[in-house]
Structure 1
């Protein structure tokens, strides 16, 4: 007994002696992370605002990789010295900003340099950082910002294609690149749910712990989620992200197509008749709980790593609509083939079992692939433009291609034909494939004079972080510039635009324009993707692309489209019964409105 007591006391003494070391180690890690976060902010300010960087005399990656180890382990005095050395010579007597900015011409909501006032910085360092923040770039170009205002890659960002994801300094470089690109080039930073500087400090330890491709991709994905931008979902494309199956654990696949919604998962179609016959579930069933968990909570847990501007997009990504990779994220991270379902069928609630399909079975994989191929083949048969009866024309933006554009000799006839219609329905529920039709031909054919339908803001090369209004971009293109006149008088018939969560970016842009084409226009649909504006793409180590919205798009009144999306005049969301039907319920709703006016 005494021996046991002796060993217990010895163990307790050892633990007590060890505790101060643990606390000291934790304090040291905290200081290191703080140093890294501060360094990333200062390095980014030099990268985007200093004259030497603007003119190509600052190799941002090399400087970061050279300094990161010293910065991480520096005390306060050493940190300040390292930062002063990195900044180099700069005139600290530069005046504070006096650029005459106004709220219409410039978007200034993202500009906040209060972090420069940190008392841990010496007076001289604060003066230099303030001078950098005030610097005005008059060269008209920038080493790390694209000169073009439209969709573009961010220049001079190395890809490190052979990177193996096991070097802390390169992983932190990834964080520094992505964080600062958003800090200076993302117009909607002010609309994020979380403070971007707090996100940085939360992500520093995450990126320090990366040790393989999976943890690298997951960490970048966490950053993409934090910006609340649907365009960031591009990181998950199959040609970019490699470890989707591992990160989301999507081994099991449901035997049906489905639509995920806040209240439930609606079964739309089984993959084949045999699966339908052998399943206890039926088309039109609404799954309201899985393994005892309400669907709203179940989906919320599985949407944590899905980038999106709003919940409508979260549910879109959780569904199988437009599913070319076979992703079924609503059924990710499940542990076995059998799930207990609570199902709403008509007015009854049923408790049923669902047998999932195991993708490790080659026959199952082939079945899923065949289903996707069949869907693609069916889509190819859909017409981009067709008449419904004699008095309605339906234009499907996602199925109208350049080859379908009218020839000059046919314009007058087509204009007359469109204007003879009682109504024109424009379906924007799929990404436009022939943008020239909407930016040029349709307004021209309907007799619309050029008009400003939005405010368009692009990155200001003079002052990164600020976005400048580009006049003329908001006009539908070319008509005023090439001397072409709109054809005849303005069309005054009904224009109906169909929207939903698939209406994104260019689809939202053209919906904005068309909704203001005449005074007889109605949007019928639900919340859109909330990601208008051309993309910017940043290359990250490992050859990855990190994408985000690069331009600010607003209504003429200044109202945002980002995150909010295009607000419909008549809200329409298909019911479970609608989803199981053959007819397009939303199109039928538009036809009802044309006929009845309500």
Structure 2
């Protein structure tokens, strides 16, 4: 009986060893293995072996595998090329805090498709991994954007991209998410679960348009506002978004519709009976809510507010999805729903586009030419983060410090200060040096900045270097400000602007924090080359508040959430600034 049982178990084991393996699974494991070696083995980390060449060299063999046995044989051959280097410098980092949320080796440790012998080989590489500060495929400095030594493959004149390069694109994206993207664990769907069906689709892909669409969907799954603009590089973006027809009116997107905010072509709008304040709920009989849902699978945004805000950019024209210029819209006006037919403007019609171009020119944000402090209501200092370079633009270098000290001395005399963070900083020194010098106190580690841990790539180490947070060479005055402070944010508060906002919130702990949810993409930008001459932008460092709360996706902290009423939008009135002034005047 015992012999019979052993025979059955042996039969099951042998049958399992020879079982068929799905195409997506074998490529998936190959991608995982290649990236594992790329980031952990010294021969690739030091640039002795080119990672892309290695990928292509073994790809044909992986393609030919049919079952668990042949796949493990091919993986074993690959792993034997990279024996453990017996590194004695493991874990020398004495950092008190390391983020390990992303680290997950269950793809081989708990994978029944991987043999124990191969699992042991993976573990030997991991235990003897490369740990030095300079890595061939990792930015040398924490704030450097370009992921180094990633080749550019240009297929500009091709109708499609060869399969091996399409697969390389997927492998590179998987490596970036696993080892360089600190917020992998915040994704609503695991990247692995998104990638596997994408592999199958990528193998079947027959055109450049299909390739770009697959990349677009994968990038969207990152849910990172830093990645939002990926679509701008696509050669077939107009085919994907069907955005070749522009409306004769300006608009702003809401969750349940589109508000007409301005008239661009008056005669067209008059004939079509479109007015400012109309609220469009459907486009060609499809609800706006459904269209926003469709776009959320194509555009990367850290939070829903970031998506809605960026869909409102008229120049990008992403919301409409039109096959022809005549558009049927359902509108609500004075609580009455009606249907209208509106001719849109074709992008190739240069004459018809003239009012569109004039409108876009009129919306360009104008900066002040004065180097003086802006005073509102006679006693409120106002700083706009996207318009601070003007303070020093025409000031001699040797006089900058004195001039900035005088600006902040004047601000101190006011009963309140408003910091408007709705925009991107045009001068880093404003917050990094002079704001802290005049209003700060030491120590001033206002957030927790985690950078890539070179000793175990895929984890992130808490950076406590003072110069990461502010200019350590300045003499901070340690003089408190007793007036009221209001900080305004919205979805234009992105990346460095969010970082500076966290700085302000720490400088002024009693400040009133108001506005809309910010972009939720704090941390230095990284840029990865992908085959086809595309570049993937993503957040490369992790930022937390000192209490451990997330800044990524959630955005900066707000005390008073504000949503600008529609009448203020239509009348071009700054509701948030109005509320900020009221908060100080109370």
Q: CA 1:291 to 1:102, structure 2 compared with 1: closer, same or farther past 3 Å? A: farther
Per the TM alignment, residue 433 of structure 1 is displaced from its structure 2 partner at its CA by: 1.2
Residue 414 (str. 1) matches residue 407 (str. 2):
yes
User: Which stretches in structure 1 are left out of the alignment for 5+ residues?
Assistant: 1-26
User: Which stretches in structure 2 are left out of the alignment for 5+ residues?
Assistant: 1-18
Residue 550 (str. 1) matches residue 540 (str. 2):
yes
Q: Which moved more, 1:173-182 or 1:102-111?
A: 102-111
Contact 1:303–1:318 at 8 Å: present in 2 too? no
- 1:396 matched to which residue of 2? 384
- 2:488 matched to which residue of 1? 498
Per the TM alignment, residue 553 of structure 1 is displaced from its structure 2 partner at its CA by: 0.3
Matches within 5 A, 1:47-62: 47-62=38-53
Per the TM alignment, residue 71 of structure 1 is displaced from its structure 2 partner at its CA by: 0.4
Tell me, in whole angstroms, the C-alpha distance in 2 between the residues paired with 1:417 and 1:39: 63
- 1:433 matched to which residue of 2? 426
Name the SS of the counterpart of 2:507 in structure 1.
coil
Matches within 5 A, 1:362-381: 362-376=350-364, 379-380=366-367
Matches within 5 A, 1:252-263: 252-263=245-256
- 1:531 matched to which residue of 2? 521
Tell me, in whole angstroms, the C-alpha distance in 2 between the residues paired with 1:175 and 1:250: 27
Contact 2:89–2:131 at 8 Å: present in 1 too? no
Matches within 5 A, 1:111-122: 111-117=103-109, 118-122=111-115
Name the SS of the counterpart of 2:411 in structure 1.
helix
Tell me, in whole angstroms, the C-alpha distance in 2 between the residues paired with 1:142 and 1:404: 39
Contact 1:39–1:71 at 8 Å: present in 2 too? yes
Out of 118, 132, 139, the position equivalent to 1:139 is 132
Q: Which moved more, 1:344-353 or 1:224-233?
A: 344-353
Name the SS of the counterpart of 1:139 in structure 2.
coil
TM-score after normalising by structure 1: 0.87
Residue 489 (str. 1) matches residue 482 (str. 2):
no
Q: Which moved more, 1:99-108 or 1:166-175?
A: 99-108
Q: CA 1:583 to 1:36, structure 2 compared with 1: closer, same or farther past 3 Å? A: same
Name the SS of the counterpart of 2:25 in structure 1.
helix
Tell me, in whole angstroms, the C-alpha distance in 1 between the residues paired with 2:352 and 2:127: 60
- 1:68 matched to which residue of 2? 59
Q: Which moved more, 1:296-305 or 1:164-173?
A: 296-305
Contact 1:574–1:585 at 8 Å: present in 2 too? yes
Name the SS of the counterpart of 1:364 in structure 2.
coil
Out of 33, 37, 42, the position equivalent to 1:42 is 33
Name the SS of the counterpart of 2:22 in structure 1.
helix
- Backbone CA RMSD of aligned residues: 2.6
- 2:340 matched to which residue of 1? 352
Q: CA 1:66 to 1:138, structure 2 compared with 1: closer, same or farther past 3 Å? A: closer
Name the SS of the counterpart of 1:200 in structure 2.
helix
- 2:169 matched to which residue of 1? 174
Per the TM alignment, residue 461 of structure 1 is displaced from its structure 2 partner at its CA by: 1.0
- 1:107 matched to which residue of 2? 99
Per the TM alignment, residue 290 of structure 1 is displaced from its structure 2 partner at its CA by: 3.0
Tell me, in whole angstroms, the C-alpha distance in 2 between the residues paired with 1:41 and 1:96: 25
Matches within 5 A, 1:186-585: 186-237=181-232, 240-320=233-313, 323=314, 326-332=315-321, 334-376=322-364, 379-380=366-367, 386-401=374-389, 404=392, 407-472=400-465, 476-478=469-471, 481-482=472-473, 484-487=474-477, 489-585=479-575
- 1:150 matched to which residue of 2? 143
Contact 2:368–2:390 at 8 Å: present in 1 too? no
Tell me, in whole angstroms, the C-alpha distance in 1 between the residues paired with 2:561 and 2:161: 50
Tell me, in whole angstroms, the C-alpha distance in 2 between the residues paired with 1:585 and 1:55: 55
Contact 2:131–2:456 at 8 Å: present in 1 too? no
C-alpha offsets along residues 75-118 of structure 1, whole Å, 9 cap, x if unaligned?
A: 33332222222223566797999959999610000011011132
Tell me, in whole angstroms, the C-alpha distance in 2 between the residues paired with 1:459 and 1:365: 47
TM-score after normalising by structure 2: 0.89
Contact 2:87–2:128 at 8 Å: present in 1 too? no
Tell me, in whole angstroms, the C-alpha distance in 2 between the residues paired with 1:474 and 1:275: 56
Tell me, in whole angstroms, the C-alpha distance in 1 between the residues paired with 2:428 and 2:461: 24
Q: CA 1:439 to 1:570, structure 2 compared with 1: closer, same or farther past 3 Å? A: same
Tell me, in whole angstroms, the C-alpha distance in 2 between the residues paired with 1:403 and 1:153: 31
Contact 1:234–1:546 at 8 Å: present in 2 too? no
Tell me, in whole angstroms, the C-alpha distance in 2 between the residues paired with 1:59 and 1:496: 53
Tell me, in whole angstroms, the C-alpha distance in 2 between the residues paired with 1:279 and 1:499: 37
Tell me, in whole angstroms, the C-alpha distance in 1 between the residues paired with 2:332 and 2:481: 46
Q: CA 1:215 to 1:556, structure 2 compared with 1: closer, same or farther past 3 Å? A: same
Q: CA 1:433 to 1:412, structure 2 compared with 1: closer, same or farther past 3 Å? A: closer
- 2:5 matched to which residue of 1? none
Name the SS of the counterpart of 2:419 in structure 1.
strand
Contact 1:107–1:467 at 8 Å: present in 2 too? yes
C-alpha offsets along residues 102-154 of structure 1, whole Å, 9 cap, x if unaligned?
A: 99610000011011132222222110112223334332211111111014211
Tell me, in whole angstroms, the C-alpha distance in 2 between the residues paired with 1:401 and 1:236: 31
Per the TM alignment, residue 229 of structure 1 is displaced from its structure 2 partner at its CA by: 0.8
Per the TM alignment, residue 583 of structure 1 is displaced from its structure 2 partner at its CA by: 2.1
Per the TM alignment, residue 534 of structure 1 is displaced from its structure 2 partner at its CA by: 0.2
C-alpha offsets along residues 166-185 of structure 1, whole Å, 9 cap, x if unaligned?
A: 31011101111111111100
Name the SS of the counterpart of 1:516 in structure 2.
helix
